[in-house]
Amino acid sequence: MGSNEDDFWNQSSSSRLNFFDEEDESTLSETDVFGAILQENTILPIHSIISNKCLKIILDDTDSAVEHVVLEPEETIRRMFHGENCLLNTYRTLENKLQMLDAALDIGDGNIIISVILFLNQTLNSNIFFTQLSKRKVAIKHYANHIIENNDFQKLADLYMATGNIFDLKDIYCLLSKDTSNQGVLYKKLEQFHIHHSQNLYYAEDKLEIQENMSFIDFQIKNKFDTKSIIEQLINLCETEWEKGNGDETILNFKKQFKLDEFQYEWVVLSVLCKMKNWDKLLSTFTKTAFLTKKRALKSVIKPDLFIIGLGRHNPPDNIMQQFLSCIGDASKSLYLAEKFKIHMYIVNYYVEQKDKMSLLKYMDRVETGSPAMYAIQSSVNNSDIKWKN
């Protein structure tokens, strides 16, 4: 028994059964497994660990613990000018906001000015916003351009009205016509403007001009015309009516309806008749015979020298130019215009009528050899029936 017991304990001591080692081995194994699992998995989203509500509380506490440094308004504008991104909503007082606007205006950068104006518009009472803007004309101009770029003409009208710039309301009427080719759509836009803002226009002539313009667009829609202006429409009417062999009744009614200026009307008629080379109608329209002298006179509100210049631009026949030159009462002016347009026969005939042989011979140097004018000079000089003054 003694021997067996010694063998047992000797064997047991050699195997060394250790409960603590066994426990450590088990623990290490579990830790290793858990670590392996963590390494294999991706990072868990924060909302799986903490709720949105709790996260917001933590972040708010963190923000409140951080002390914000608010720069002077002028410094913020300076940094913006150098390309830095700056938060404007850190400025809460009206004084700081206006300091920032004035600093932006002093620098003159349009983008910065608009950024500040938009911030003020979002954070100020509308009455205060427009009151302060009205004191700064440059700011109004920048804001108006910004609104125009966005095609918000109602907002532009509100701006002009709120800041007392009613003189500029007419500009909106003109802007409405921009990029609108459909006459029906344009008329509806202008009609709405007229209904809402015509009573606010300062000048009576502006109101009249708008009414006449709307009347013209209505005329175009009814007659299916698409000309860009009243003058262009008059040109179109003259060409179509005279090509059809019609009289002037339709043209004169158009002139009366749209109160065309006499000078404008006659200048268009002159240009169209020259373009059509209708010289007979041109003479009958713009010349008359004086009752006493039986001489032809110019019948036009256009000044004689300007009329001749306008006529000469269309290169009419020399005989037509001669007839109109003879309508000018001032001889020196008619000679100057005749020389300008090289109407040689008119000058030759004038010197012959004046029996001014010296001037006629002197003028020979300016006339082409073999031309009708040269032949007329030579014939006149050799005509013994003419009693020359010199």
pLDDT at 340 over 50: yes
C-alpha to C-alpha distance for 143 and 120, rounded to whole angstroms? 12
What pLDDT does residue 48 have? Answer: 65
Q: How far apart are CA 254 and CA 257, in angstroms?
A: 5
Total residue count of the chain as it appears in this document: 390
Coil, helix or strand at residue 297? strand
Please give the Cα distance from 305 to 328 (Å, whole number). Answer: 8
pLDDT level of residue 170 (50, 70, 90 thresholds): confident
Whole-angstrom Cα distance, residue 146 to residue 148?
A: 5
Name the residue with higher pLDDT: 191 or 7. 191
> Averaging pLDDT over each range in 31-45, 86-100, 134-148, which range is the top one?
134-148
**Alpha-carbon distance 110 to 80, whole Å?**
12
Residue 331 has pLDDT above 80, yes or no: yes
Helices (H) and strands (E) in the chain, counts: 22, 2
In contact, 331 and 350? CB cutoff 8 Å: yes
Mean pLDDT over all residues of the chain?
A: 83
CA dihedral 234, 237, 238, 244 (to 10 degrees): 180
242 within 8 A of 272, measured Cβ to Cβ: yes
Instruction: Tell me how many degrees the CA angle 219-223-229 measures, rounded to the nearest 5.
Output: 50
Token code pair at residue 174: 């003109």
Residues of the chain with pLDDT > 90, as a percent, come to: 51
> Is the confidence at residue 103, as pLDDT, over 70?
yes
Q: Are strands 296-298 and 287-289 parallel, antiparallel or unpaired?
A: antiparallel
Pairwise CA distance, residues 118 & 159, whole Å: 13
pLDDT digits (tens, 9 = 90+) for 250-303: 999 999 999 899 999 999 999 999 999 999 999 999 999 877 767 889 999 999
Which comes out higher in pLDDT, residue 65 or 163? 163
- pLDDT confidence of 68, banded at 50, 70, 90? low
Quickly count: other Cβ atoms within 10 Å of residue 25's Cβ.
Answer: 10
What integer pLDDT is reported at residue 94 of this predicted model? 93
Question: What integer pLDDT is reported at residue 168 of this predicted model?
Answer: 84
User: In the prediction, which pLDDT does 144 show?
Assistant: 94
Indicate the residue type of 131.
Answer: T
The crossing angle, in degrees rounded to 10, of helices 230-243 and 249-257 is 170
| pLDDT of the residue at 211 | 84
Mean pLDDT of the 345-358 span: 94
Q: What angle do CA 206, 211, 214 make, to 5 degrees?
A: 125
